[in-house]
Amino acid sequence: MELALSITMGLESGTEPAREEAALVAACRRGDEDAFARLVRRHEKRVFRLAGRFFRQPEEVEEVAQQTFLTIWQKLDTYRAKAPFEHWLTRVCLNCCYERLRKQKVRSEPLDEDYAAASSEPTARLEVERLLEVLPATDRFILLLLHGEEWSVAEIAERLGWSRANVKVRAHRARKKLRQLLAEEL
């Protein structure tokens, strides 16, 4: 009896954040800007971290984060609560990143000088990051999700609304391009 009671209590306490978030979303849908500010504070680190995986300049990261939260505010009525809010938010953020990357041409900017200067010898990681900069934005995007964020194919498919086959094909093509770039360098 005590075990069942502790399990039940554990489950109830584990759902409290979900209930709180659902209440915040409902308040936001009614136009409560304070509730939206709390929702932003709750998720801003995740959004900034995720955007920071795709963009080096702080201004770009901030713009993507702002676009993400603006989109969330404007399209909150499309959130159906079939999955956690965090998944929907992540999908919106990734779509904002993807759109921004798609609009950019191949980035020819060098890596941040401070970052490159941190290592006196070239390392494999710096080489891969340099080659990633040369890849088209869509290829860099999928590789960063798979290897930078360590998401599974299923997670990417779910959060972006792509099929698993589409994710696998894009990843295969991106890896192939990366290998070609590496072979050209050698």
pLDDT tens across 69-86, in order? 999 999 998 888 888 888
Is 115-186 the same fold as 17-104?
no
Question: What is the CA 148 to chain-centroid distance, rounded?
Answer: 10
What CATH number is given for 115-186 in this structure? 1.10.10.10
AA letter at 142: I
Residue 122: predicted pLDDT? 52
Residue 119: predicted pLDDT? 39
Q: How far apart are CA 168 and CA 33, in angstroms?
A: 40
Q: Residue 33, SS3?
A: helix
Q: How many CA atoms lie within 13 A of 88 on its CB side?
A: 19
Predicted model pTM: 0.61
pLDDT digits (tens, 9 = 90+) for 139-168: 888 888 888 888 899 888 888 888 999 999
Q: How far apart are CA 178 and CA 28, in angstroms?
A: 43
pLDDT bracket for residue 65 (50, 70, 90): very high
Domain range annotation of the chain: 17-104, 115-186
Query: At 112, phi and psi to the nearest 5?
Result: -50, 130
Average pLDDT over residues 97-113: 61
């009896």: which residue's tokens?
1
Residue 96: predicted pLDDT? 92
Residue 99: predicted pLDDT? 87
Architecture of the domain delimited by 17-104? Orthogonal Bundle (1.10)
Average pLDDT over residues 102-116: 47
- % of the chain beyond a pLDDT of 70: 80
Residue 125 has pLDDT above 80, yes or no: no
